[in-house]
Structure 1
Amino acid sequence: MTPAIIADGVRKRYADIQAVDGVSLSVETGEFFGILGPNGAGKTTTLEILEGIREPDEGQIELLGLNPWPRNPKLLPRIGVQFQASAFFERLNTRETIRLFASFYGIGPRRADAMLERVALTEFGSVPAERLSGGQAHRLSIACAIVHQPELLFLDEPTTGLDPQARRNLWDLLRDINSEGTTIVLTTHYLDEAEILCDRVSVMDRGKILKTGAPAALIRELDDKVRVSVESGLVTEERMRELLAAASADVAKVEDDGVSLSVTTELPAPVLSILAEQGALRGLEVRGATLEDVFLQLTGREYRS
């Protein structure tokens, strides 16, 4: 099957800033693909180039087998786009907003109204769009992006600013859309979101793709140590070091921050055995590597505003 997206050597510069620097990627048809990166990594610019909104300085792109730039009218009915920030028309309620977007594609009001139910906004149909909550506005934005049943959906940080419940409701909706065969490409700052939703991800920084793969595969490649934590005060840090040394347990670090006693090791079994023998299992947590660890290893820990 032909990939939904093929990008090869894509570059985009703004004055002295190289926003996108030789990005190459391929997204399979039906895939849920994520682009991850810190602020200023080039995620949004890359997405806009793929969508055909922005012209690349260099590189080749195929979107559903077609060139998206110059703006390709043949692609417009086949793709859906949700931008990082959405602004709805003033004085239109939720139902009227979806009907308006549907009309752009020659779709009648019946299917537009059915989309209200699809995104759980039926009871808010008469509410002015600008009065919706953050989660409701995000669902309306996605409804407008999928009302014409696109083959390919682009989402730019779709859950930013949402509370945990709203985020998970949106995840359920996106999984349903993807399960019906729609290819989804999203950017996100939330590593747990990418780990749960995406078949594959690309980690991006300073305009470059650093690594691409399935989240689980990237985590396995990291081969990071396991952190075993229990409630502080059950056994002292000094005593834990003595017990570990007596058992010849190979550990990288033991620390007690006053809240938790933590042992970092490649082999957690001896550590767990010692804690059990000491009756020190209250608050036990065993944490392996996550996609966040992969992300931080590739992009660093430096804060960027």
Structure 2
Amino acid sequence: MQFLVYIIIYPLLWVISILPFRLLYAISDFLFVVVYYIIGYRKKTVTYNLKLVFPEKSDSEIKDIQKKFYAHLCDMILESIKSLTISEEEMIKRFKLLNVEEIHKLEVLNKNIVLQCGHYGNFEWIFILQKFVNHKGYGVYKRLANKYFDKLIKRKRAKYNTELITTKETIQTLLHSKAKGELSISGFISDQSPKKDKAYYWNEFLGIKVPIHTGAEMLAKKLDSAVVFFAVKKIKRGYYETTFQTIAVNPLEYKNYELTDRYLKLVEEQIYEAPEYYLWTHKRFKHKDEVPAEFQ
């Protein structure tokens, strides 16, 4: 059944991916009407999240952010499909890396890197970074249920020399990489909600106390890897600029969770500047009323 689904859907995805961007965004405009007005995909969750984070904004302001968010979400879906066949030259033109020398400085220091970002802008196109650095790239991801689409995603990332690894494979893979003397750069997105029973740290994010993912910080300390944040700014439709900011060169010099807090503050700065480009469909604040006594 998995293969049948794959051979039915993949040709359609491939055909969409070879369309010029002008037609791609025409499809995105149509998808927006379907997702926002007809299906109303997770609209209640998005409205709830926005009102919780921006209580000072009027209903009309919330609705304006919401509509812009759904338009961006549809663009991201089509841009992700476009990644199947987009040329290297086109990707470099549309996803500019403004200060990649920040990564080169850490290479000179012989430092492995934990690279963090938020679910903001088009974070998926960061894989083009591998064309500009010498670190071996690893992306931590959740394996897809359909093994054929899972292989497709891995193949798509591999063309930029990035290897996808699951959470369970992360420590072993990166320890082995370090033992080989390989410089690695591993990507993490840690701003969404962990399972409550796996939450060891709670703090405020966007003004609400919630459980926080700390795996990236713990891994950085275990491997003595530098921690770098990359911010994605949407310049116009289909065009992004990315800047890198080193959070820590030597993570063991910082108290537990300090690096996590610094990372989340940088994510917050992006969201407050232009909230429509954040992924609001996730139930980020579902545990906000379950704060353990030691974190209240």
Q: Which has the higher helix share?
A: 2
Q: Give the greater-gyration-radius structure (CA).
A: 1
Report which structure shows greater RCO (CA 8 Å, sep ≥6): 2
TM-score (norm. length: structure 2): 0.33
Q: Which has the higher strand share?
A: 1
TM-score (norm. length: structure 1): 0.33
